[in-house]
Structure 1
Amino acid sequence: MSTLAAAVLAAGLAAARLTQAQPAVPDTIGGLPRHAVLGVAVTRDSAAADGRGVVIQAIGPTGTAALAGVHAGDRVLTLNDTAVTDVATFVARSGRLLAGRPVTLRVRRGRDTLELRARAVARPLEAAAPGVTVDYGSVEGAGVRRRTITVRPATPGRHPGLLFMGGVGCYSLDGLREQGGYGTLIYGLARAGYAVMRVEKVGMGDSDGPSCDSPAADLHLEIAGLTAGLRALRADPRVDSAHVAIVAHSMGPIEASIVADSIPVSALVLAETTGLNWLEYDLANARRQLVLLGRPYDEVEREMRLHVQCAYRFHVLHETPQAITAALPGCAGNLALPQPYTYMQQVGDVDQAEHWKRIDRPVLVIYGTSDFVTSEADSRYLVDMINGFHPGRASLRVIEGMDHGLESAPPPREAIRQQRAGPGEAHPALLPTVRAWLDQAVKPA
């Protein structure tokens, strides 16, 4: 099954199963319309002569597709009168369906063409877990409404607050698995007495705005939403505004340096990241991964020479991917970007040192030895940078056997060759490490 198809399965079938244990979800919650769950797993139509099209593989029992009468094996022709030609298009369009709105699927079943209709079923909410409550809200940044999800202790009173910032990519932070890296941190820290807010990326989940993969969804727009989230967290009457911190992962710490430079926080936890500028990091990461994959060194050098040309034109000259690949077709593989090119080029322009020079707060940097996306040297450079401006403020914790996804994994040379069969579980040292440090740095004495 493709990654995209698996994503539909996770957001569709799994979500549909959750619905059975929940009361009806309102079509609007926390100031934003709730998005819908279609509830299908799909794959490419391999029987089509041109290889285009989408076939339904499986259907959840309580999603919109089941309500409409979709069957496994149906070939999807249109979704709300828009032609469906590939899995990516189908995933993107189904992810923007709004609860309560009419949905029409035109499918081919055997020799028949059918139009199937239903009222879109709301995506289930994260249910309150033992010891915590889950609140859905929204904030506005740069004119775009963004979904916020706050997990807080079930006990009354005001609690220290944490803004959680995830890594790079277009994905939803709604419906997290509590056993995964993000879920373990968010729910574990909430049970430990913190109100933990996350802000959905622009165009993802219930958030408004341009599609996350659109050039309009740039770094400035992302920062505006995160900044609005931090302001809202500090203004929450159930949060101790004098004790609010940031916990950030991967690309999140780079964004956190910008956010914390504009709104003071008590402390920051930065996991699996780099202190290098993005151009230098990109080149070092490309070489490191080629070597870990066991590529011959002459091949590594040939690929790196090309990569340097591609990266220079992208990050320094700010050429578009289309312009670069027109001049250097071999750059196409080097420009497979996790977010829009505008976002990535603006990340390349961030001068972290200028931000950290002004942020005089305790900082914990975490590196897992199984991470092949960053290096321990990346983390140590960030610690040295912060301590160079503010002696003794930053410290490094190294967690043996933790990968970039905050999960347990074998050493990097083995981990980079593995293909996970499914989601893993958070490294057992992750939560205790973060919690112990935050309790010392953030909680009132």
Structure 2
Amino acid sequence: MTGPRSLILLAALALAPLSFAQIERGEPLLRRPALGMQIRPLTLETAQNAGLTEAKGVLIGTVTEGLSAQKWGLQPGDILTKLAGEPVAAAADVTRILATLKTGQEVAIEYIRGRDIRTARAPLAPRAYMKADGFRVHYDQVVSQGKRIRVIATHPATPGPHPTIFMIGGIGQYSIDGDYAATAYGNVLASFADRYTIIRVDKPGQGDSEGPAYSELGFGQEEDAYLQALRLAKTFEFVDPQRIAIFGHSMGGCFGPFVASQEKVAGVAVYGTLTKTYTEYLLENSRRQMAMGGGAPGDVNNALRDLAQVSHHIFIEGLSPQQVIERRPELADAVRGNIPDGRTFSGVGLGFWRELAARNLSGAWLNVDAKVLAMWGENEFIATQWDHEEIARIVNGVRPGTAEYKMVEGSDHGFFKTTSALDSMTRWGQGAEFNPEVIRVLDEWLKRTLAGA
């Protein structure tokens, strides 16, 4: 990694009576077409290697069997440049275009493999429903800020209500709708499906959920989707409303305390998250990753000096990238290097980061009236040990003995087995063996926390 643009970011108490009148389901959501591919931001370096002069397009990650991407013949590493005849400059364009298309509609694409420009045409495949596999599956929806949000529950076949895990995933444009083996966090959640109800929520605009393009999604809008889904979950007959634990990973660990402070839960577990201010985290994370990537100390300092100014102007003052360039032309290269499309930073809309920068993450934990578990992977390079120890200190400072910190041995940010933080960063995105240690730590805490709730 040579600069900030390559950064990987991030992630037994009386229950107040629930007012079911607050919950609005709306009409049932229709099934959307599924592209069946992971979308990643396209860096300028990758674009230039493909013969492009600008970072316009999206990089294809994993491809799901039987869905549209496979029918088009896409492979990991391809660059999608057109969808349904419209240019694709960033992930937000894919979301915007897909929202206008219907299942079964024949759609053409243009993509780059290596340096070859290719085209393909195929009908859009419908998203498959999750299959029951030793548990039962329930699809529902809830209205959040006028938009219907997809809520998916699995629960044991035995009579309930059951203790419940409410999953809040990390940052990024993806859907959690599908079988555990093929979706984010399935490698963790599948181990609990025979004993716990598990609630998953598609972010606004993702999967079947209504909402804006991902680049326009705000922190508060996503937070409210989780809050309304949690309130809905408490009405399910297979959910024990007094035995619910939120499990937040990465950015999900930032949402966790805000949601839990508005709707009572028995516990909040987080992994690979942060509690310091966002801009403080951004600079610290940038320095660590650039140094680990072999950046010269002087170059790293120069990059951090520019990033500190750019992040303040954009995330704190709320200036647009163009306004920063006009007012501070000496920062033009830093602005364009970090925000090449002028709309997103690390694949996420600038508005989301501005909202996050304004939030008091440490203060949010003071209002969490629940048991807390802060987990940190031993080989993390995205989140710090300090943040997780600090979460436990904050909570124990106001409710002694209710929070604990646990290091997950041999694990990285994605729950993979790695030998060091450098090993994790070097192999990031290439796939690695899953480390089940996170399941052991979480399972032991859930048994204690939800059994006595």
TM-score above 0.5: yes
Greater than 6 Å deviation, 4+ residue runs: 39-54, 70-73, 75-78, 114-117
Cα–Cα, structure 1 residues 128 and 325, in superposed 2: closer, same or farther, change >3 Å?
Answer: farther
Does residue 182 in structure 1 map to residue 185 in structure 2?
A: yes
Give the TM-score normalised by the residue count of structure 2: 0.77
Of residues 117, 125, 131, the one that matches 1:127 is 131
C-alpha displacement of 1:338: 3.5
The residue aligned with 2:280 is: 280
The structure, 1 or 2, with the larger RCO (C-alpha pairs under 8 Å, 6+ apart) is: 2
Q: State how far apart, in whole Å, the 2-side matches of 1:72 and 1:352 are.
A: 40
Does residue 201 in structure 1 map to residue 210 in structure 2?
A: no
Cα–Cα, structure 1 residues 355 and 72, in superposed 2: closer, same or farther, change >3 Å?
Answer: closer
Does residue 151 in structure 1 map to residue 154 in structure 2?
A: yes
Q: State how far apart, in whole Å, the 2-side matches of 1:180 and 1:40 are.
A: 11
Identity %: 26
Q: State how far apart, in whole Å, the 2-side matches of 1:344 and 1:181 are.
A: 22
1:363-384, Cα deviation, whole Å (9 max, x unpaired): 0000001110011112112221
Q: State how far apart, in whole Å, the 2-side matches of 1:41 and 1:360 are.
A: 36
The residue aligned with 1:323 is: 323
Of residues 381, 398, 401, the one that matches 1:372 is 381
Count of aligned pairs: 402
Q: State how far apart, in whole Å, the 2-side matches of 1:86 and 1:201 are.
A: 22
Cα–Cα, structure 1 residues 103 and 199, in superposed 2: closer, same or farther, change >3 Å?
Answer: same
Of residues 352, 366, 373, the one that matches 1:357 is 366
Does residue 213 in structure 1 map to residue 215 in structure 2?
A: yes
Residue 83 of structure 2 contacts residue 110 of structure 2 at CA under 8 Å; is this kept in 1?
A: no
Q: State how far apart, in whole Å, the 2-side matches of 1:237 and 1:310 are.
A: 50
Q: State how far apart, in whole Å, the 2-side matches of 1:280 and 1:265 are.
A: 29
Q: Which has the larger radius of gyration?
A: 1
Pairing 1:402-441 to 2, within 5 Å after superposition: 402-422=411-431, 424-441=432-449
Residue 321 of structure 1 contacts residue 341 of structure 1 at CA under 8 Å; is this kept in 2?
A: no
Determine helix, strand or coil for the equivalent of 1:226.
helix
The one-letter amino acid paired with 1:442 is L
Q: State how far apart, in whole Å, the 1-side matches of 2:173 and 2:159 are.
A: 35
The residue aligned with 1:111 is: none
C-alpha displacement of 1:325: 4.3
The residue aligned with 1:332 is: 336
C-alpha displacement of 1:95: 4.4
The residue aligned with 2:352 is: 343
The residue aligned with 1:163 is: 166
Give the TM-score normalised by the residue count of structure 1: 0.79
Q: State how far apart, in whole Å, the 1-side matches of 2:358 and 2:236 are.
A: 33
C-alpha displacement of 1:388: 1.7
Q: State how far apart, in whole Å, the 2-side matches of 1:255 and 1:60 are.
A: 28
The one-letter amino acid paired with 2:371 is P
The one-letter amino acid paired with 1:182 is Y
Does residue 308 in structure 1 map to residue 305 in structure 2?
A: no
Cα–Cα, structure 1 residues 121 and 403, in superposed 2: closer, same or farther, change >3 Å?
Answer: same
Q: State how far apart, in whole Å, the 2-side matches of 1:38 and 1:350 are.
A: 34
Cα–Cα, structure 1 residues 188 and 71, in superposed 2: closer, same or farther, change >3 Å?
Answer: closer
Does residue 34 in structure 1 map to residue 31 in structure 2?
A: yes
Residue 35 of structure 2 contacts residue 125 of structure 2 at CA under 8 Å; is this kept in 1?
A: yes
Unpaired segments ≥5 residues, structure 2: 1-25, 112-118, 340-344
Residue 155 of structure 2 contacts residue 238 of structure 2 at CA under 8 Å; is this kept in 1?
A: no
Residue 268 of structure 1 contacts residue 363 of structure 1 at CA under 8 Å; is this kept in 2?
A: yes
Q: State how far apart, in whole Å, the 2-side matches of 1:418 and 1:115 are.
A: 31
Residue 92 of structure 2 contacts residue 215 of structure 2 at CA under 8 Å; is this kept in 1?
A: no
The residue aligned with 2:139 is: 136
Q: State how far apart, in whole Å, the 2-side matches of 1:281 and 1:107 are.
A: 38
Residue 379 of structure 2 contacts residue 412 of structure 2 at CA under 8 Å; is this kept in 1?
A: yes
Residue 215 of structure 2 contacts residue 349 of structure 2 at CA under 8 Å; is this kept in 1?
A: yes
Determine helix, strand or coil for the equivalent of 2:427.
coil
Unpaired segments ≥5 residues, structure 1: 1-28, 109-113
The one-letter amino acid paired with 1:438 is L
The residue aligned with 2:256 is: 256
